[in-house]
Amino acid sequence: MGFRAAVAGASGYAGGEILRILAGHPEIEIATVTAGSNAGALLGAHQPHLRSLAGRTLAETTPDTLSGHDVVFLALPHGQSGPLAAQLGDDTLVVDCGADHRLADAAAWERFYGGEHAGTWPYGLPELPGHREALRSARRIAVPGCYPTAVSLALVPAFAAGLAEPDVVVVAASGTSGAGRAAKPNLIGSEVMGSVSAYGVGGVHRHTPEMVQNLSAAAGGPVTVSFTPTLAPMSRGILATCTAKARPGVTAAALRDAYETAYADEPFADLLPEGQWPATAMTLGANTALLQVALDEAAGRVVVVAAIDNLTKGTGGGAVQSANLALGLPEELGLTTIGVSP
Amino acid sequence: MGFRAAVAGASGYAGGEILRILAGHPEIEIATVTAGSNAGALLGAHQPHLRSLAGRTLAETTPDTLSGHDVVFLALPHGQSGPLAAQLGDDTLVVDCGADHRLADAAAWERFYGGEHAGTWPYGLPELPGHREALRSARRIAVPGCYPTAVSLALVPAFAAGLAEPDVVVVAASGTSGAGRAAKPNLIGSEVMGSVSAYGVGGVHRHTPEMVQNLSAAAGGPVTVSFTPTLAPMSRGILATCTAKARPGVTAAALRDAYETAYADEPFADLLPEGQWPATAMTLGANTALLQVALDEAAGRVVVVAAIDNLTKGTGGGAVQSANLALGLPEELGLTTIGVSP
Amino acid sequence: MGFRAAVAGASGYAGGEILRILAGHPEIEIATVTAGSNAGALLGAHQPHLRSLAGRTLAETTPDTLSGHDVVFLALPHGQSGPLAAQLGDDTLVVDCGADHRLADAAAWERFYGGEHAGTWPYGLPELPGHREALRSARRIAVPGCYPTAVSLALVPAFAAGLAEPDVVVVAASGTSGAGRAAKPNLIGSEVMGSVSAYGVGGVHRHTPEMVQNLSAAAGGPVTVSFTPTLAPMSRGILATCTAKARPGVTAAALRDAYETAYADEPFADLLPEGQWPATAMTLGANTALLQVALDEAAGRVVVVAAIDNLTKGTGGGAVQSANLALGLPEELGLTTIGVSP
Amino acid sequence: MGFRAAVAGASGYAGGEILRILAGHPEIEIATVTAGSNAGALLGAHQPHLRSLAGRTLAETTPDTLSGHDVVFLALPHGQSGPLAAQLGDDTLVVDCGADHRLADAAAWERFYGGEHAGTWPYGLPELPGHREALRSARRIAVPGCYPTAVSLALVPAFAAGLAEPDVVVVAASGTSGAGRAAKPNLIGSEVMGSVSAYGVGGVHRHTPEMVQNLSAAAGGPVTVSFTPTLAPMSRGILATCTAKARPGVTAAALRDAYETAYADEPFADLLPEGQWPATAMTLGANTALLQVALDEAAGRVVVVAAIDNLTKGTGGGAVQSANLALGLPEELGLTTIGVSP
């Protein structure tokens, strides 16, 4: 085991997923697990599926408990990682699964999250143009949001290839784990089973500016994104239906070609064969984003559907993938493209 | 009981829902139930939830078994109701839950369904401008598709009020009962539970021309619709996220006002109070369409979310609502706005 | 409308179900809805599926707000209905959906619930021998627990007919609404979807003494019940698998005959045809208990499977059924045997 | 890679699970995948979650295509593995996930499965007394059924320690993948979601004689088993509630002690800490059986609850675990105790 890791927020869903992956990682050792109000408890009380780690005790999340590790994964509510990370050594790799360091635009941060912006870190989506190289030397990494991961992988190739107009409409369905582990009345099983519901409608969801940021960078100019998230009756998974107005003259063949080219060598972005459409269950527990594209000629729109596991590629797996790069390890180490299905 | 009814396709989901509603209807008596390959069986073998009808025997679906009723509900695969209805008397009310008579454009029928177009019947969505009056004297009714029901109720007021540009993007999630009762490998529980998937992407779903027809009528000119259906892990329900480019100068207040006005007196289209968003479970077994609207100013889009029960308002309830009108009964008779929840 | 009703606990699941049923009841008018911490809110904020009642305001649950009604339904946490009911007039029909007045044995109450026993009321399960008549003159009714409803309907006929030894093992699966609406970490959707779990194992579940009470009465002597409840990933429904050691010489025909005889005239207890087994979905929203019996000759056990909707026959529907009797109304008024399916 | 494997029945659920595990196995290489009616197709068309194997072509399942491998996994409908295995070389390790070679009693085979009994192979449940050693030298292995895996792990320690009388009642809930991948009307998503149902009631389920066989061996005499399987709305998982009459004088401490002793060194049978009860989701994709025990003193019964993933420990994982032993590899190789949760 080359590297010692601490995971903060280990009793939550994002923290649990990082631990699940690290437990099978050949080069990263889980040295410390920490929590907030659950500190002092055994990990097994909160993450009973992590059998081999069940006897670990949750330490408190403080700069002290987190110091002295090669890599620290922060899986904390937004607003908490900024001040905490500032107290960790510069030579420690800090991987923030929260939103604090994702946005380049401080004004957007303040509008969508409130409070002071903590600054911008290298963005942990190696599949985006130029990002992989930046991550190799990073000591700080901002893991993307789950929705922006799916949407960016879905639409960046179309924009990068000049096939889409900057008029984007995204509707995405997410499993309930995306809403975290806090017990809220609208998230109890009786409410969510057998039901799909909308929330954060009208451009108010916090992941919107992150999508705008990524797609605008790919388009080389401002892109508008109408984003509607919905909650689906499943624990994990995001299915993002992403459409953009097609540039004049775009053909279905050119569209497909752009994605084949973009993802030919990507280990974790996978264009399905023609005729096969993504389902979230195909990605359960896998670090893969599955994609399929279509050109709707009558409506003049590019339609790209992306499926990911919101906790794996959308959070914990993406975090480990970027950490691998920053630690000089093979990017795929400890990660799988194979889902648990059915 | 004033009227005697026959239900063809009584062993399927649409037929079962019509029977469920009629079993509590004070003025329509279930006289005959028919089926195709299930003819001869007891209804209870196929619809065990309909306890009071369990001992009925399924007759064969033929012009003979269906004749001699005041109203005939056809819940058959598309293409079958056209020839069958042609053999039923002109004074019998025939309510077709299939697609055969929905489209005005024969070319669209041939492109999306294949075969010869059976003709166009009065369209059973009383909430659309002018439709209620047409239904009062109808002897033939084409019940709308489940997706077009949700989408039309969601967007017609915006177009009728001149608030939207004819550039529409719809992504809708449907429960699996929308795919019918045939046992297909992709519909077995192990495949659909825990998973959201896309299908019919790129404008190829058969309900697309029906949406175009209804929205274009409301807009007074051609509307393009990019429609993506998705399958969600629930038996019933449609949640349709419907967006249209906003006309310049549209305000959130004007948008809300248009919907309040449009649906103030509608028994089965219900704009939720501000801040509350539709969930499909709120409509389970009810004939209600629940709606909420937002203006996404940054993206320049009107966003309307509609929830219905695809089998009730989207099929069987809508069928009975229109039949009530045609039979001279109160429109709400035998129908409820109250869902079974949680 | 002959009778005016108040529903206390109207923002919870049991209260919501009573309201759903009363909203369609021709002889009981919903005059007052009350709540605890949700008092002051609109009912629509908590029960958005009850469209026609959405504008009602929740009053506080007090003797004052509940007085002056013909019938008061109490849907409160256990321990609260005892003191409250004591302050309601003797001529008011009080129907308690809580546990406070179900047990005849004060010691059993104290052992399983703690605190002082509030007394024993007529038990609201008209299908049990002698109970229907007692309910006709009752002014106080204890609505059975959801599990005891299913288990008693499943096994009482076998004991009453002398076919079973007093050695009972019951394992039941319940939907999550049985655990109420409080937001607890183990009940959030992410935890319960895709999972069946056990709880209250080893005879500690509070419904155990109620089962013992009912089965012992039918057997004419003490019956032991090993009861294990499990939580299933669905909102509603109980499937109870109930086994008892078979008396020597019992035949499958005698067993079936006992159930046919017991339930021949019961509107809400329904023995399925041979070969058909109950599924909870068949009963969704219906007041029906569906039953099937088998004799396992190799194991020497009677096996009876019962399916109910825990909120309908198991709570709100059972409450209205008993209230109908006590109010001198037809027992079936406002109730249906037809489930919402699929 | 030391060993070359063939997997027959690779387009089904059991075959897919074996492939999922072998894809991450460091010493077994997937050389050949075969199917019946799906032969000729790409594996990716049927198992889209197995991304790295998606391009493999399914060969026909014949003695020829399966010959020349170190290990052959048979995931075929019962009755097919007997004749096929007879044509495979004696030095090939054949691991049969079907039922053909599980039962020692030919009469029981004929009664429950019909046809001629194919013979009895070493039984692939290393946790049972004496079985591990037998598997180390085996060239033929009968993988246990999913239900018997859970039930045997749950009750064998109680019988082996002399704590239980031979009077067993088991009720188990299974995810729908246990019913296989064939599209049957009762297995489509619309039917199974939101519903728990019973089937095979009264001792007729084919796994019953296998339970009797294992428990009788542990008890040293005949044990009766009343077994009722139920279908739960989830894709994977079995929760088995297993009760046996307690021997006089048994204490809760003695019971717990027996399980702690039995499973102290077992990698894949895990007694949970007191107070924590198994949920199937804790085991998703893991080879672990999670157990908890209770003594119901009032009812005089030992109650043991076991959770497994029916496709992993219950089929494919159990198959690889036994194959590891037979191939002289570490028993845990390629297997995990860590589930994918939530």
Residue D174, beta-bridge partner list: D231, D238
Mean pLDDT score, B317-339 = 98
**Residue numbers in D near C197 (CB within 8 A):** 239, 277-281, 307
Q: CB distance C279–D226 less than 8 Å?
A: no
Of D299, B334, B240, residue with least CA distance to A173: B240
Q: CB distance A277–B225 less than 8 Å?
A: no
Question: How many angstroms separate the Cα of B268 from the Cα of each of A94, B177, B321, B329?
Answer: 54, 21, 9, 16
For the CA atoms of chain D, what is the radius of gyration?
A: 19
Q: Is D45 on the interface with A (CB under 8 A)?
A: yes
Q: CB distance B190–D176 less than 8 Å?
A: yes
**Residue C105 burial (C-beta neighbours within 10 Å; 0-12, 13-18, 19+):** middle
Q: Which of B188, B194, B233 sits opposite D183 (nearest CB)?
A: B188
- Which chains pack against D, by 3+ Cβ pairs within 8 A? A, B, C
Two structure tokens written together for C50: 């009850």
**Tens of pLDDT along D100-125?**
999 999 999 999 999 899 999 999 99
Give pLDDT, residue D51.
97
Shortest distance between the Cα of C87 and any Cα of chain D, in A, equals 37
Q: Is D223 on the interface with C (CB under 8 A)?
A: no
CATH superfamily label, B3-144+313-326: NAD(P)-binding Rossmann-like Domain (3.40.50.720)
- CB of A33 closer than 8 Å to CB of A19: yes
Q: CB distance D234–C298 less than 8 Å?
A: no
Measure the CA–CA gap between D241 and D229, rounded to whole angstroms. 10
Model confidence at A233: pLDDT above 90: yes
Q: How many CB atoms lie within 10 A of CB D80?
A: 18
Active site residues of C: 146
**Which residues in chain C show pLDDT less than 70?**
1
Measure the CA–CA gap between C237 and C224, rounded to whole angstroms. 25
Q: Is A249 on the interface with C (CB under 8 A)?
A: no
Q: Is B253 on the interface with D (CB under 8 A)?
A: no
ipTM over 0.85: yes
**The three-state (H, E, C) secondary structure of D142-185, written as one string:** ECCCHHHHHHHHHHHHHHHCCCEEEEEEEEEEECHHHHCCCCCH
**The three-state (H, E, C) secondary structure of chain A, written as one string:** CCEEEEEECCCCHHHHHHHHHHCCCCCEEEEEEEECCCCCCEHHHHCCCEHHHCCCECEECCHHHHCCCCEEEECCCCCCHHHHHCCCCCCCEEEECCCCCCCCCHHHHHHHCCCCCCCCCCECCCCCCCHHHHHHCCCEEECCCHHHHHHHHHHHHHHHCCCEEEEEEEEEEECHHHHCCCCCHHHEHHHHCCCCEECCCCCCCCCHHHHHHHHHHHHCCCCEEEEEEEECCCCCCEEEEEEEEECCCCCHHHHHHHHHHHHCCCCCEEECCCCCCCEHHHHCCCCCEEEEEEEECCCCEEEEEEEECCCHHHHHHHHHHHHHHHCCCCCCCCCCCECCCC
**Tens of pLDDT along C93-132?**
999 999 999 999 999 999 999 989 999 999 999 999 999 9
Give pLDDT, residue A1.
65
C173: helix, strand or coil: strand
Of A256, B61, A112, A48, residue with least CA distance to D291: A48
Give pLDDT, residue B295.
98
Interface list for B 75-104 with A (CB within 8 A): none
- CB of D75 closer than 8 Å to CB of D28: no
Q: Is C292 on the interface with D (CB under 8 A)?
A: yes
Q: How many CB atoms lie within 10 A of CB C264?
A: 9
Of D49, D122, D37, D134, residue with least CA distance to D80: D37
- CB of A315 closer than 8 Å to CB of A17: yes
Question: How many angstroms separate the Cα of A129 from the Cα of each of A103, A158, A214, A327?
Answer: 17, 13, 10, 20
**Residue A321 burial (C-beta neighbours within 10 Å; 0-12, 13-18, 19+):** buried
- CB of C236 closer than 8 Å to CB of C206: no
Measure the CA–CA gap between A266 and D104, rounded to whole angstroms. 51
**Tens of pLDDT along D209-251?**
999 999 999 999 999 999 999 999 999 999 999 999 999 999 9
Q: Is B107 on the interface with A (CB under 8 A)?
A: no
User: Among residues A84, A95, A103, A146, which one is catalytic?
Assistant: A146
CA angle B25, B29, B35 (to 5 degrees): 110
Q: Is C267 on the interface with B (CB under 8 A)?
A: no
User: Among residues B146, B219, B271, B295, which one is catalytic?
Assistant: B146
Q: What percent of chain D has pLDDT over 90?
A: 99
Measure the CA–CA gap between B50 and C240, rounded to whole angstroms. 21
Q: Which of B201, B235, B243 sits opposite A303 (nearest CB)?
A: B201
Strands A224-231 and A197-198: antiparallel
Nearest CA in chain D to B47: D191
Reply yes or no: is the peptide bond before residue B342 cis, omega within 30 of 0.
yes
Nearest CA in chain B to C48: B282
**Residue numbers in B near D190 (CB within 8 A):** 13, 175-177, 179, 181, 187, 235
For domain C147-310, say whether CATH 3.30.360.10 is its number. Answer: yes
- CB of D227 closer than 8 Å to CB of D208: yes
User: Of D21, D47, D341, which to mutate for an interface test with A (greatest number of A Cβ within 10 Å)?
Assistant: D341
C238: helix, strand or coil: strand
Two structure tokens written together for C46: 């908590």
Q: CB distance A195–B234 less than 8 Å?
A: yes
**Tens of pLDDT along B136-164?**
999 999 999 999 999 999 999 999 999 99
Please list the alpha-helical segments (H only) found in D176-298: 189-192, 208-219, 252-263
Task: State the average pLDDT for chain D.
Answer: 97
Nearest CA in chain A to D16: A341
Query: In this structure, what is the dihedral angle of CA atoms A39, A43, A44, A49, given to the nearest 10 degrees?
Result: 130
Give the contacts of D200 (CB within 8 A, at least 6 positions apart): D206, D228, D229
Of C93, C96, C60, residue with least CA distance to C78: C96
Give the contacts of A257 (CB within 8 A, at least 6 positions apart): none
pLDDT tier at B236 (50, 70, 90 boundaries)?
very high
Two structure tokens written together for A322: 């970027």
Q: CB distance C190–A183 less than 8 Å?
A: no
Q: CB distance A196–B239 less than 8 Å?
A: yes
pTM greater than 0.95 (yes/no): yes
Measure the CA–CA gap between A85 and D126, rounded to whole angstroms. 48
Q: Is C298 on the interface with D (CB under 8 A)?
A: yes
Measure the CA–CA gap between C36 and D341, rounded to whole angstroms. 35
Q: CB distance B196–A232 less than 8 Å?
A: yes
**Tens of pLDDT along B88-125?**
999 999 999 999 999 999 999 999 999 899 999 999 99
Of B286, B251, B291, B22, residue with least CA distance to B155: B291
- CB of A235 closer than 8 Å to CB of A311: no
Interface list for B 178-197 with D (CB within 8 A): 179, 181, 183-185, 187-194
Mean pLDDT score, D19-30 = 98
Give the contacts of A170 (CB within 8 A, at least 6 positions apart): A151, A211, A225, A226, A227, A228, A240, A241, A242, A243
Give pLDDT, residue C1.
65
Residue D29, beta-bridge partner list: D4
Give pLDDT, residue D50.
98
**Tens of pLDDT along A83-105?**
999 999 999 999 999 999 999 99
Q: How many CB atoms lie within 10 A of CB C267?
A: 18
Q: CB distance B339–C281 less than 8 Å?
A: no
Q: How many CB atoms lie within 10 A of CB B265?
A: 7
pLDDT tier at B1 (50, 70, 90 boundaries)?
low
Give the contacts of A255 (CB within 8 A, at least 6 positions apart): A158, A163, A293, A294, A295, A302
Give the contacts of B182 (CB within 8 A, at least 6 positions apart): none
Shortest distance between the Cα of B219 and any Cα of chain C, in A, equals 30
**Tens of pLDDT along C172-199?**
999 999 999 999 999 999 999 999 999 9
Evaluate the CA torsion angle A282, A284, A287, A289 in order and state its sign.
positive
Measure the CA–CA gap between C221 and A111, rounded to whole angstroms. 70
pLDDT tier at D165 (50, 70, 90 boundaries)?
very high
**Residue C42 burial (C-beta neighbours within 10 Å; 0-12, 13-18, 19+):** middle
- CB of C79 closer than 8 Å to CB of C60: no
Where does CATH 3.40.50.720 sit in chain C? Answer: 3-144+313-326
Where does CATH 3.30.360.10 sit in chain A? Answer: 147-310
pLDDT tier at D1 (50, 70, 90 boundaries)?
low
Mean pLDDT score, D296-323 = 98
Q: Is D50 on the interface with A (CB under 8 A)?
A: yes
Is A242 one of the catalytic residues?
no
Evaluate the CA torsion angle A142, A148, A153, A157 in order and state its sign.
negative
Measure the CA–CA gap between B8 and B66, rounded to whole angstroms. 8
Q: Which of C176, C191, C194 sits opposite A190 (nearest CB)?
A: C176
